[in-house]
Chains A and B, each alone.
Chain A
């Protein structure tokens, strides 16, 4: 069996939700080199979000959708580099997950909704704003994600 990062979705009965992503890493040297170090923490956070109960926001928020959780994790695993700064994972009231970075006056958000496409919003330091469909503009999203690593380095204190 090849060395792969295995995201094992243990879909149990609806009553037994939240579902564990059951992330396990079988580390090959290539994956150890390219995987961002925050990936296990992201998995832990997603698992916590899946445990949120209906109305967690006091305004009737839905439970976080397992499909959105998997979509967010899969996106991060496929598109992040070792240098990509750690994202913040926020539950949406619609039952989705918003992946966010806010670094050095740049805001970058990717929204996984239970209904509708995966969308993104970017706001740069110079007031430049872009929003759209992630999978229709994947090269743009990839460029913005890579640029975050550079911005993050600029905010790190010199060692």
Chain B
């Protein structure tokens, strides 16, 4: 079934400046624990959180944080998911492009380009948690 198109979504016309923050949902199955040099640990997304969509081969989905309707909108129906943020500039620095799409809801964008291990690792390290579900630790 095709997703409904939002071709008249006004956010489709908005620019994508380098300082715009994009949000990416991360399922809890992709939370991993990192041990730092001082022995402390923290939780971060696995690099596979920045892979393309396996269902239809489309590029990785993100949301314009200013045009998507807020965290509650993009997390609706995705209980237990976390959300990470990274800027348009950080994504461009990794050699990828961002395009707005008429599907996927208001503010929906796709990150286009080949995502090698190195590029996914750069995205992981550029990203930071915007929302972490409870009982993650």
Q: B residues within 8 A CB of A157?
A: 39
B92, CB-defined interface residue at 8 Å: no
A123 to B56, CA, bound (A): 30
A57 in contact with B116 given A62-B54, A98-B46, A155-B37 (CB within 8 Å) = no
User: Given A57-B27, A155-B39, list of 12 further CB < 8 A pairs?
Assistant: A58-B27, A58-B78, A60-B54, A62-B54, A90-B48, A92-B54, A93-B48, A98-B48, A100-B32, A102-B32, A102-B44, A121-B120
- Interface size classification for chain B: 20 to 34
Q: B residues within 8 A CB of A56?
A: 27, 29
Q: B residues within 8 A CB of A123?
A: 118, 121
The digit string for B99-117, where 1 denotes a CB below 8 A from any CB of A, is 0000000000000000011
B127, CB-defined interface residue at 8 Å: no
- Interface size classification for chain A: 35 or more
B66, CB-defined interface residue at 8 Å: no
B32 contacts A156, CB within 8 Å? no
9 A-B interface contacts by CB (under 8 A)? A58-B25, A94-B54, A104-B35, A105-B36, A111-B48, A121-B117, A129-B117, A131-B118, A155-B37
A53 to B89, CA, bound (A): 35
Within 102-158 of A, Cβ neighbours of B (below 8 Å) are at 102-105, 107, 109, 111, 119-121, 123, 129, 131, 152, 155-157
A55 to B81, CA, bound (A): 13
Name B residues whose Cβ lies closer than 8 Å to a Cβ of A.
25, 27, 29-30, 32-39, 44, 46-48, 51, 53-56, 61, 77-78, 81, 116-118, 120-121
A93 contacts B53, CB within 8 Å? yes
- B26 to chain A: closest residue by CB: A57
B48 contacts A104, CB within 8 Å? no
Name A residues whose Cβ lies closer than 8 Å to a Cβ of B.
49, 52, 55-62, 88, 90-95, 98, 100, 102-105, 107, 109, 111, 119-121, 123, 129, 131, 152, 155-157
- A60 to chain B: closest residue by CB: B55
B30 contacts A58, CB within 8 Å? no
A100 to B44, CA, bound (A): 12
A57 contacts B29, CB within 8 Å? yes
A92 in contact with B34 given A58-B78, A155-B39, A156-B39 (CB within 8 Å) = no
A104 to B37, CA, bound (A): 4
- A96 to chain B: closest residue by CB: B48
Return the contact of A102 from the options B25, B35, B38, B81 (Cβ within 8 A): B35
B77 contacts A58, CB within 8 Å? yes
A88 in contact with B32 given A123-B121, A131-B116 (CB within 8 Å) = yes
Q: A residues within 8 A CB of B44?
A: 102
A111 to B46, CA, bound (A): 12
